Each structure stands twice: as structure tokens, then as C-alpha cells.
Structure 1
Amino acid sequence: MASSSSSTSDIGVILNELTCPVCSELYKEPTALPCGHSFCRVCIEKSWENREEDTGYVCPNCRDVFPQKPKLEKNVIVANLVENMKLKEGKVGLEVEVEDAEHGDVNVKEGMKAGGSESYCELCNGEAAKRCVPCEILCCEKHLKPHQQKGHKLVDPGVKIEELRCIEHGKPILLYCKDDESLMCVTCTGGEHQDHKIVGVEIAHVELKDVLAAKYPRVSQSMQSVASQLRQVQREEDQTENSSRDAEDSLEEKRRLVCQFVNESVDLMKSEINKRKMEKLSLLGKQREKLEQQMEDLRQRISTMDTALQDLESISFLQGSKDLLKRMPRARPGTSLARPKRGAAGSGRLETMSDFKSVKSTPLPVLDFSKEEKNLDGLITLNKNFLEKIQKGPVEHPEKVDLDQNNLRRLYGRSPSLDPNSAHRQIKISGDLRTATQSETENQYPEHPDRFDVYEQVVSRDSFSSGRHYWEVDVGSSRWWGIGICLNSMGRKWVESGLGENPASWCLYKSNNDFSAYHNNRCTSLSVPGDHERFGFFLDCEAGELTCFGDSRVLHVFRGNFMDPVKPAIWVYDGSVHFVHLVK
């Protein structure tokens, strides 16, 4: 086994000596240059053809330059050794792996890769891995090792040699001036950089990387901070989109309700108008019929009388007057032409005719809808004023509303209902979910994460994160209570859950006749004259305000971020507290 290994090693050494440095194959028509290095004739010819610089003829191995093209003569000794090696192995076109101390494991094959120029090794036309700066050649991984062992500067194949040379002197850039922060060659040290602090480019490279590495954590931290701000902006954008969409949906619902109200009101008034019209027309029709009948009777009498008056003979007129009066139409019952009394002369009948009186029509009431029209006019005026305010242009801050409680009830009235799952066990909730009563005994409520376990508190089912909302609370049967709002995310356990005692809640508080406003465990005493039984709360989410009312006057205004969901909340120590049902 040792002999076989030694024989293989000897063959490897011989093959290495008989391998062309350009194509890494066994020599084919080997030729020797004046410097002593041998190459395949084809390989050395192609190597010279591929060189673009007009610097003479260069040995690819030692880089010696020959001013004139050397005469290429066959190296007979090397050619014979190659032939003997091929015969010894028993075949032509031998492919064998060799272990070379300089190149490592390589495949020696016949032929050479075609190609060239900047992306190929200038020694074998293989794919270039690096460019050797001092030697100014491209090398593959195989031919790169000698340059690495000599400590030559290596760069990527795409880097141009001109970029690595001093523009002024044309020599390789090896130094770095810290004062001017510029690259330089050795010749530059004698000029304006003479007294400057100069180091090698590799040292400068390491030092600059250390500086950048030291700054990297701070820049990375700044980037994280900016990323956090970007996420916050994105959240606010999403909240703005959601808030805008909710507001538009709410407005559409109000549009539907307003249109429904207007349509129903107009239809109802039109129906009433038509009903009154038909009643009056019926009465007028009956009066018209009576008057038309009287008119016909009178026409007949006028015609008879005209005929009699045309008779100029007195005796004849008097003889016919009795028959004339008998033939005249009788007046209908109810008219002034009543039957003459017995024994009355004809002249009485004529007199009765002359006393005819027409039927007087009973005056009918005028159709009056001024009150209904006034109500509609008031609604139209209100809408016009509202539109004029909108048309003034976009408003940066929500417009303050008229803090009249009647308007607040009508426009923004809400009737919250209590959430039994949040009620403390000593709080009893009424069946309509509007009244919270303090109980001396604990109610058997099931466990729930939303249930208060320290304070006798309860929150509503309703939560608000946008828009305007108004509700009222009746406290007539309680002397000690707290009413306000809290974030939906406020804790329900331990002592931090008290209304007004943390950053997530705002509370109007009463103890006997003392009033105060609490937020984040800070107390503001309030002067509230009288003993009020009802208190109002107006929440403007966009403006960030919770206004507390007592007896139609503003008691206190809380300010905070009410764009997160908030819930009306109650704390009751004695008696009962009741959410008032507001009907718009």
C-alpha cells in the first residue's frame, strides 16, 4: 500500500511538471520561452492574442516582457516525456486527479476553454475569480493561489485597474490620508500630505469599519424608533379610516331617519288636508244643491209674473189674479214661501211672494295648516343653518355644540343599559338593565373577567369611540355615588379599578352634599348648589371632552383621549342609581 501511494505521488509530481500553466493540461507541442518556462504552442499564442495592452510579449508565469516576439521552438525533451507518460498510462487523453502542493486537487484534461477577455482567467481561460492588482491579470481559483501566497492585493474581476491607481502619479494606491480623507500612492507622501497622518489602506479600512460598527447600534435604535412612529402613524391612519367610515355610516342612518320622518310627516299632513277638504266640499255641495233649487223656483215665478204684468186690461188682470196665485209654485218647507193662512185675501198671497227670503248658508271653517307649516319651516331653517356652517369649509377642531340640554337630548340622546357581567356582587341589576342598587348581601353572580371585585361598580353594555353622545342618570335615592366613564380596557380587579383613581377613568363623585371630579386619583372640588336628582353627561369623542351637567348648568368638563372605546360607568354606595330612558 505504501509503494502504491508513493507511486501515485511520483506520477502526480511528474504530471504537474508536464502540465501547461495556461490550459492545465498535458503539454501539446510544448515550446520554451527565453525565461525558461514552457507552454503549449497554442496556449502561449492565444495568451498573447488576448492581451489588449501593447506592452510587448509577456510570460504568463513570471511576467517577463520580451520586446520582440520570441521564436517558438519545440521543447523536444518535454514532448518526449509527455508521450512516454501517455504510453505508460496506456491511453491518450488521460484524465487523472493529482494532488499539488500549490494548486490542491485539480482535474487535468485535454483541451482548453474557449473565451477570454475580462471575465476569464488570462492563464487558462477559465472563469475568473479575482484580479491581481500588482500583476494586473485575471485569475481563476486554481491560478489564484500563487498570488495569494505572495500576498498580492486581490480585487473582484469587475474592478478596473485604473481605479486602483493614483490619478496624479499612476502608481498603485496603498495609503490613506486621515487629515484629507483621501486615497494616495507612495509618491503622494512627499507633497502636500508630508505632515499629515497617513496609514495603509487596510488599516484605514479596519478603523473605518470599527467607527461604523460603533455607530451602528445608535443608528439601529433610531431606525427602530422611526419604525415605531411609522406604526403609530399607520394605526392612527387606520383609526381615522375606521372613524370616518363609522361617521359616514351614522350619517347615512340619520339621513334615512330624517327622510323617513319628513316623508311620514308630509304624508300625514297631506292625508289630513285631504280629509278636511272632503268634509268641507261635502257641506258646500249640500248648500249648493239648496241654492240651485231655490234659483229654479224663483225663475219660474219671475216668468209667471212677467206674463201677468204684460196684461194691460185691469178687469182681465184682476179676474185672473186668483188663478195666477193658485198656479204659482209653492215654496218648499223650510223656505219663506209658506202656505198662506185661511181667510187671507189674494193680496196676502202676493204679499207673501214679495216677502221671499233666500236661505242663508252656514259659514264653514277655513282650512288652516299654519301650525304644521310652521313646524316644517322651523325644521327647514335648522337645516339651512346647519348647512351654512358646513359650507364654511373644513374645520380643524370639532365645532362646539349648543350645550342646551334639550337640544342635547333631541340630537344626541342615548339610553345606556347596564352590563350584568361587570356588576360587583353587591350591586343588583334591575330587569330592564337600567338601575343599579347597592345590596348588603352578595348576589350569586358567576365568575367573569369583566366583573369588578373590589368596588361596588358596574359599566354599561354600550361603548363609544366616535361621535357625540348624551345620557342622564337619576340619583334621587342615593346620597353617595360616582358616575362617569372608563376605557373599555380599564382593569376590573384589585384597587386600581376604582373610577377616577387611574388614568383610564373619569368620574363625577358625590358624598352627602360634597361634589368633586376625579381623574387619575386627582380630585377637583366642585360647588354644586341645591340637591339635584338628575345629572347629564355629554361625550364628544373627537373633541376629547366629557361635560357634566347638574340642573341645566355645566358642573365640570373632563378632557382626554376618548377615541379609544369608553363606557358609561356607575359606582353606588347606597340606594339606587338609574340610567334615564331618553326618547328622541
Structure 2
Amino acid sequence: MAFSSMTGVCADELQCIVCLELYEEPITLPCGHSFCKVCIEQHWECREEATVCDCPNCREVFPIKPKCQKNVALAKLVEKTKLVPGVNVEKTKLVPGVNEEKMKLTPGVNVEERRCTEHGKPILLYCKDDESLMCVMCLVGQHTNHKVVPVELVHDELKGVLNAKCPELSKSKQHLESQLHQLKREVEQTQDSGKGTVDRMEKKRLALYQYVDKSVDLMKSSVIKRQNEKIFLLQKQMDKVKEQLNSLQETNSTLKAALQDLETISFLQGYKDVIKRLESVSHFQSPKMAQPTELDFSKEEKNLGSLIVLHENFLKNIRKPVELQMSELDQTSLRRLYGRTPSLDPNSAHRRIKISRDLRTATRTETDNQFPEHPDRFDFWSQVLSSDCFSSGRHYWEVDVRSSSRWRIGICLNSMGRKGGGNECRLGRNPESWCLRKYENKYYTRHNNQRTHVLSMPWDPERFGFLLDCEEGEFTCFRDSQVLHVFRGNFLVPVKPAIGVYDDDDSVRFCSF
């Protein structure tokens, strides 16, 4: 098989399948196949039906004789091939089956993968404009006037592009490995930091009489909780860094494999995937790294030494532990640390509110449901409370609102009114309730009949999150980890999650974790 470095093609690919010689004044039929002008004319003249013209290659029939125009691009390739030293035109005749058989016998060569899917010819060229592999027949048509080069040339060029990415990838890998090492070290320090404090607390337990058990248990819980919360965040950073590191390592392996791939076509076929992977890892952002700090429990130990004097006042201090700042927590963290799924209280549901069997969904119905009389039941507003009641700690839950267009979701004191249509019984209209509200496709927050905030949202969220921090006196409304509003009040008295649904067939649901 004679190959021309000048044209980047094999002379065999420039042969007419009728005369089996290099094209003489080549023309291209509408089906895309090319022939010598004389050959195709003679082929049509020999047909029994002189009015019928077909393609000798694909046998497509043309009802009207095609207008045969010279294929200038193909003619130029033929002329260049004739000028190449060492190319014997007489020896370039195609022997049916020979070229295909040679390719079949070549180790590692898949004939179908090496041929153009459109023309069935061997892939020998690469179009830089379209970044695609092509055969010589592809020069006619959509690749006309494109920048086309032999695959061997672009192979070296694109390998150079991948080689240039190696230093950057290696630098990113080293940076992430360093971060992972630092995080592991801080986890170990955090795990060790509370050990001595807990042991010393145990030694002082015997001298603290009736307040000892309760106080020490509270303080140990505070120490362990702070450790766990910090370890949780550190572990989360580690997981992210490990994920990025694994992705970099996989990309690095893919890159090395591509660079070691000496086989041209398979390299070019996988080149785009390698580039995409390199681009994806280039967007990695390193997690924010705080300066390594050792947890300080000196306050707990000092307070423990003066426990006998402080008595009940001391208990009030240790009930308010030093906890993570809200800015450090996203909704995924809140679900894991404080997540719960409240249950609806059927005895509080208005007669138009139907409760699902799992006590999670409240649906507004067109007619009254046959509920028994109960002192906790709302008799005017279509609202329902949770059976869960909170007065200490942190509690986070989410509500699915995709099936409702008008609702109120929040919390209320257990003492809020239930009977009558006055504001004392409606969520957000009295001092005993706090809620997020959707009305006429707008969102508001309400407390004590005051619309405290108007929320602008580019789309309707499917769910909202709510965090109740009883000790801090905060009730926070979230959308996709974004804090929408923070209510402040005295939540050390019992409060309950609450829902109001006001349009028939609408429903809202407490999400399960």
C-alpha cells in the first residue's frame, strides 16, 4: 500500500472501483461515491435500460441522470500522489479483499473501528476544525475547506497538549495530599484533647454530692459533643479532599495511559474524554482550612472545682454548651446532627385536614372529615400541630411543599388557642406562634401579626428546612442551605411544629430522614 506523506493518504484510496486505477477527472455522484468520469459514463452506456442511472458502488438509482461535475479536491489529491517519489501508479490498483485482509491480520486492529462509518474507508485524516477523524472521501462535503492533517501529525501535537497538563495535575495532587495530612493530624489532636479532662472530672465526682452526677454527665456530654461536632466537620472536609484526590488519581492514571498509548487511532478516540476529565478536575476548589486549634476544656475543669459553691447557678451555665456556629452548618450537616421527622397529631387537625397513615402528610379536603370532638382540635382554621413537643436542645426538620400553593409552616406554643376564628388561633397572627407563609406566589415570615420579612425567590422550592435552637432562642428558616429568616424568642417553654393548608386538595409533608 503506497502512502503519500505529501497528501497524508494512501494511493489505494484514490482508485476508481470501476477501472481499479487512480482517478482520471474524478466526479462525485449525489450518493457521495466518486469515479472516473469516463468510467461512469461507460457504465451507464452499458446498462440495458439507457434511461436508468445508478451508482456502481452502492447501487442507488437516479431517475434523472446526475450532472457530473469534476471533483476538484479529489483531482488535486490524485495529482499530488502521482508526484510522490516511490509511488508506482501501476502498482496502486486495488486488489479486492487484500487490504481488508491485511488489516484483519494486524494485531490489535479492529477493522470496523478503523473505517469511516459513512464511507467505509480507512481513517487516515483528522479535521482540526471539527476535531473529528475522517477518511479521504470525507474531504468532499462538510469538511470542504477545513484544515485537514494526517492522523500521525495531530497525534504528536495532541500528545504535547496532554504532556503540558502533567505539572499542573501533579501540583494539585500534592496540594490535596498535604491538606488531607493536615486534616488527619487535627482529627487525632481533637480526639486526644478531651481525654485528660474527662479523667480529672471522674476524680472530683465523689466530692460533689447530689449535684455531681447530673453536673458531670452534662459536662462530659458537652465535651464529647464538641469533639464529635468538630470531628464531623473535619471528617467532612477529609471526605471532600479524598474524593477530589481519588478523582485526580483516576484522571492521572487515565492521562498516563493516554500518553503511553502508542496506537494513534485509539489515542485520538479517547482524547476528548481525557480532556474533559482534566477540565473537570481543574475546577476543584480547596475546602476552607481553619488554623489547627486544640479544643479548650479549661472552663469546664475550672467550673467543676467550684461546683460546691455555685450549686444551681452552675447548672444553668453548663446547660448552655459552646456549640458550632450556624455559619459552619449546611442542611446536610443539620440533618445528620439534629434531624428528626415530626409526627402530626390527629387530635389537633381541623375537620378539613386529612392525616396520612404514617402521620407525615396533611391534606386539605373539600368536605369535613368525621373526627371526634377534642379540646386540642382547631375548629376554624385548617391547621394541624405535631405531637412532638420541644423545650431544649436543637431540632431540625424539613417540609415538602411541592403539592401546595398556599400554606403556613412554623412552630407555636402548646398553649396557643384552638377554638374560634380569631388571631389567637391562627399561625403567625399572635405572640405564641412563628411561621413562614406562602400566599399568591410570594413568601413572608409572620409573628405576632407582624409581617417581618418579604422573601424573593427565583423559583418555587420543593421543600424548606427549619431549625429550632431552644437554648439560643432561635427558630431559623432555610431554603437549600440558605438562611431565609431567624426568629428569636423564648423557646425553653414547650413548642410544637405546626402546619396550615388552606386550598382544597393541597398537601404538605414532613420529610423523612
Same fold (TM over 0.5): no
TM-score (norm 2): 0.39
User: Which structure exhibits the higher relative contact order, with contacts defined as CA atoms closer than 8 Å and separated by 6 or more residues?
Assistant: 2
Higher Rg: 1
TM-score (norm 1): 0.34
